[in-house]
Amino acid sequence: MYASVGIAVFYLQDRYLLRPAKLSTDFMFKFDHGFKEINIPINKEDTINLIQFLPADDTVSKGVVIYFHDAKDNVSMFESKINVFLKNRYEVWMPDYPGFGKSSGKSSELKINEQAFQVKRLADKKFLPEQIVVYGQKFGAGVAASLASSTQIKLLILENPFYSIPDMYFSKLPIFPWNSMSNYKFPIGENINEISAPVKIIFTDEKAANTSSSQKLSKKINEKNTFVTTSKAAYESVLQQLLKD
């Protein structure tokens, strides 16, 4: 029974973790904010679809937020998350992962990390490191932390993150050796040690904040990092303050 369940869980884990909503290449995005859509070809199979949300026409952007969303749906579902950044005169660049939205290709941790670096390189052509904020939401927190651990940025913000994906799985099914079973790792807890920029961790989900995985992450906090638990209603005001600090 243990072996049968383990095999099933191993092969179904990506369906649990990744819940993409694909879009046809001719799909026309409709957003309330001004935006540009960019397709970045990587090879014959892989293309990054990137939406660049822009501040008001009469506003000069003071930087960019590279936003890695949760592993569900596609960029069209996350526009409501960007208001506070635009109000603070930041552009928001939001890529879709392979197989999400209009981004093509098969997903893997290596490929997602490589494509995150492609987006960062594009940002480097327009902005200085001290103008670049990296933001990660849930699954995207793993992508954001991986990127921030290997490049220079102004600030890293993680929303409802986990210590690592194997650790997150272990908190739900502790009977399996997830360190070897998990297809994705995204070891945020380990990567934080390599991040030179300040790290701001925000929990809007009290249940998530009290898991063993998040508590392990809280122990990584030092004098330059912040761990905040807040309500969803107060989220924007907290984020506003973090951007000013």
- 207 near 213, Cβ under 8 Å? no
- List residues bridging with 68 in a β-sheet: 136
Percentage of the chain exceeding pLDDT 70: 98
- 23 near 101, Cβ under 8 Å? yes
DSSP assignment of 147-189: HHTTS--SEEEEES--S-HHHHHHHH-TTS-HHHH-S----HH
6-22 pLDDT, tens digit each: 787 777 888 889 999 99
Whole-number Å distance between alpha carbons of 227 and 160: 10
CA 77 vs. chain centroid, Å, equals 14
Say what the pTM is: 0.93
Average pLDDT over residues 22-31: 95
| Structural domain 2-244, CATH architecture | 3-Layer(aba) Sandwich (3.40)
Q: Is 49 helix (H, G, I), strand (E, B) or coil?
A: strand
DSSP assignment of 116-137: HHHHHHHHHTTS-GGGEEEEEE
Both tokens assigned to 183? 């297809």
Whole-number Å distance between alpha carbons of 242 and 82: 14
pLDDT at residue 212 above 80? no
200-209 pLDDT, tens digit each: 999 887 777 6
- 229 near 209, Cβ under 8 Å? yes
Q: Is 216 helix (H, G, I), strand (E, B) or coil?
A: helix
Q: Which one, of 93, 86, 90, lies nearest residue 123 by Cα?
A: 93
Q: What Å distances lie between residue 111 and 134, 198, 229, CA to CA?
A: 18, 26, 32
What is the chain's mean pLDDT, rounded? 90
